[in-house]
Amino acid sequence: MPITNRIAEFLPDAKSWRQHLHAHPELRFAEHQTAAFVAERLREFGCDTVRTGVGQTGVVAVIEGRAAGRTIAFRADMDALALTERTGLAHASIIPGRMHACGHDGHTTMLLTAARYLAETRAFAGRVVLLFQPAEEGGGGAKAMLGDGALEGVDEVYALHNWPGLAPGHFAVRPGPMMAAADGFAITVQGKGGHGARPHLAVDTTLAAAAIVVAMPSIPGRNTDPHQPVVVSVCAMQSDSTAYNVIPDQVILRGTTRFFDTALRPVLRDRITTLAQATAAAYGATATVDYFRGVDPVINDVAAAAHAAQAASRVAGDVRRDMAPDMAAEDFADILAARPGAYVWIGNGASADLHNPAYEFNDDIIPAGASFFAALAEMRLNP
């Protein structure tokens, strides 16, 4: 089964939905119009139940098969990002400072397209649950949906994310680690503000903060096993002064850690704290560190990854199983901690990268993504 013919016929409609969603991006937990659009389509398709307001702005729909059986769930995320689009496309975001730069408009559309097919054909025994999730981008939308019982009765669960650089409509999946855990930290460096011309009368917070920035990347591979992938990045440096001749009283650094082994979480927290405090002290300043727990790694169930690969190969032939896990994070981790399942990449072709203002979801991969969900449902629910 390559692209399902019936699904290919839905492409013009699907493109128009995707481009409509793209032009009207909504941020985490504010996906009101998006959720209403999704629920309206799902009701049109004849889904058996459509529940809105799940995990604040999420939508859950159920499609019953022709007989009783197991339950499989598919998840798509719906939220956009806070950046300004620079694609110049006719369907570009109409809202400055908001953009679907991670392709969640495409994920929503691929799952809607699969829902339309599955509601029409129902060639399976059991139940398909469709999860349209809010707030994937750092909002904890998956947890919010779990808290509202979105996975009740679900036996296994899958999600797709588009992947720039992977051939369009091709798939990649691996058993075990797929995406990293992500935590955050803030380091407040306190010194003594003063005139930039007389630094010897101040305690130079900028210099101490810069030394901390330089010290942080020494943690991976020195305090952790070099065989373990770990990232420590300082991404923001902020003071209360924008003047060119003022040494600020306080500088705040913000950053992120990435890792797969959750036993490293306290190690990273402790090393960041010690290194920041000792480095600040070396410059006569002090540092206080807040370390925030983010999401755990996305770990694919071994059997579910094999099922996903089988469905993907029915749609697109060869499936990439050799790609390294990625150090980006994804809150589908919370869903995989609750149920066995797998997270799968679908190639977006040679597009700009995710979260880039020039990024564009490739509409031509919609039939492949929708066919993947349909194939997986029909395969797993027809023993």
Residues that bind Zn ion (CB under 5 A): 102
- Token representation of residue 82: 């806070």
- Pick the closer one to Zn ion by CB: 312 or 354: 354
Residue 381, Cβ neighbours under 10 Å: how many? 22
The two three-digit tokens of residue 76, written as one number: 């798509």
H helical segments located in the chain: 5-9, 11-23, 32-45, 104-121, 141-147, 205-215, 264-282, 302-316, 332-338, 366-380
Q: Which among 74, 95, 75 has a CA at the least distance from the CA of 84?
A: 95
Distances (CA, A) of 135 to 77, 130, 139, 383: 7, 16, 5, 35
Residue 273 CB, nearest distance to Zn ion (Å)? 28
Structure tokens at 66: 């022709």
- Please, which residue, 105 or 204, has the CB nearer to Zn ion? 105
Which residue number, 100 or 380, has a Cβ lying nearer to Zn ion? 100
CB 102 → Zn ion: shortest distance, Å?
3
Q: With respect to Zn ion, which residue has the nearer C-beta, 251 or 295?
A: 295
Chain length of the chain: 383
State the helix-helix crossing angle for 366-380 and 11-23, rounded to 10 degrees: 110
Q: Closest separation between CB of residue 343 and Zn ion, Å?
A: 11
Shortest distance, CB of residue 254 to Zn ion, whole angstroms? 18
The DSSP letter of residue 380 is H
Query: Which of residues 102 and 150 has its CB atom nearest to Zn ion in the complex?
Result: 102
C-beta of 102 vs 181, nearer to Zn ion: 102
Beta carbon of residue 137, minimum distance to Zn ion (angstroms, whole number): 5
151, two tokens: 């996975």
**Using alpha carbons only, what angle is made at residue 182 by residues 177 and 187, rounded to the nearest 5 degrees?**
155
- Residue of minimal CB distance from Zn ion? 102
- Distance in Å, CB of 163 to Zn ion, minimum: 10
Pairing status of strand 67-77 against strand 156-164: parallel
